[in-house]
Amino acid sequence: MALEVKNLSISFPHLRVINNFTYQFNQNGLYLFVATNGSGKTSIFRSILGLIHSKNNGITIDDKPMAQMRRSVFYYESSNWFDINMSGMDYLKLIKTQWKSNVKINAVIHFWKMENYVNKSIRKYSLGMKQKLLIALYLISDADYLIMDEINNGLDEDSRKKLLKKLNELSQHKCIIISSHYKDEVYPYADKILTIKDHEVINDNH
């Protein structure tokens, strides 16, 4: 089982972003994208998921088109995507149902110590609380491929450590594709490092 990206090129009007990216993400391991701001990390993620237009010769999971494998992947780009009128619990229940997950909601809530606010509307959450909810959604989905864009933003040091430990554990049997501003913290856990430089994605040996 693998997520394959073939000849992915992304460009916007008058702006080339990514040129001819081909790669195979295996079913387990932690893949770290490293690049300066604005170099195209989020665009790659969005293209893989079909959220933006791109040129490619196929983005597949197990040779099946991504559109047929939605339940195998989980991506929620940012805590800004939340409907602030809803509660964290509403989102957790939705993702659990939609991804047909067996992960217990209460266990995740307890792990991230969200008991005090998970039933309140997201409008009342701090940035850290929203980010913990975002991480909880990934855990609840229990998807085989977790694509995370700057997921440790807004977390304190202890929470970041806790997250990396969890991701390391999950990467033994899931594929985790992550980009992070705290790359030095993620480095030790990464199995593969992908660097974006001059519109090309370079596979660094690690």
Partner 1 sequence: MTYSQFTIKSILKSKMNIFFLIILPIFTVIFLFVNLSAQKQDTIQYNAQQSYSFNQSEAQHIIKNKKHLKKGEVEVIPEYVMLAKENKAILNGIHKNNWNQVYSKQKEVNNHLNAEGNPASFTHELKRNNLLMDYLKSNHIKSPESESYPTHNLTFNLWMDNFIIPIVLLLVMIFILSNTYCKSYSDKINKDQLMPMSLNQQAFHKLTIGTLGFSIYYFMINVWNLIISSIMVGGIGFNYPYYIHNGKQMQYISLINIYWKAFILQIFSILFITSFIYLVTIIFKKRITVIFINIIALIGLSFCVHIFDFLQGIAKLIPSTYFDTVGIVSNNSMNLINKTSFSSGLMVLIISSAIVMLLIALINKLNTKEGRF
Interacting residues with partner 1 (CB under 8 A): 46-47, 49-56, 58-60, 65-68, 70-71, 73-77, 80-81, 83, 85-86, 90, 93-94, 97-99, 121
CA dist., res. 160 & res. 146, Å (int): 17
Picking from 184, 145, 185, 138, the residue whose alpha carbon sits closest to that of residue 164 is: 185
- CB closer to partner 1, 28 vs 56: 56
Pairing of strands 145-149, 73-75: parallel
Do 83 and 122 form a contact (C-beta atoms < 8 A)? Answer: yes
- Least gap, CB of 205 to partner 1 (angstroms): 30
- Least gap, CB of 162 to partner 1 (angstroms): 25
Q: Measured in whole angstroms, how far is the alpha carbon of residue 199 from the centre of its chain?
A: 21
- Least gap, CB of 147 to partner 1 (angstroms): 10
- Least gap, CB of 189 to partner 1 (angstroms): 25
- CB closer to partner 1, 58 vs 181: 58
CA dist., res. 102 & res. 161, Å (int): 25
Reduce the DSSP state of residue 90 to 3 states and report it: helix
- CB closer to partner 1, 120 vs 161: 120
- CB closer to partner 1, 85 vs 116: 85
Do 156 and 104 form a contact (C-beta atoms < 8 A)? Answer: no
- CB closer to partner 1, 105 vs 163: 105
- Least gap, CB of 116 to partner 1 (angstroms): 20
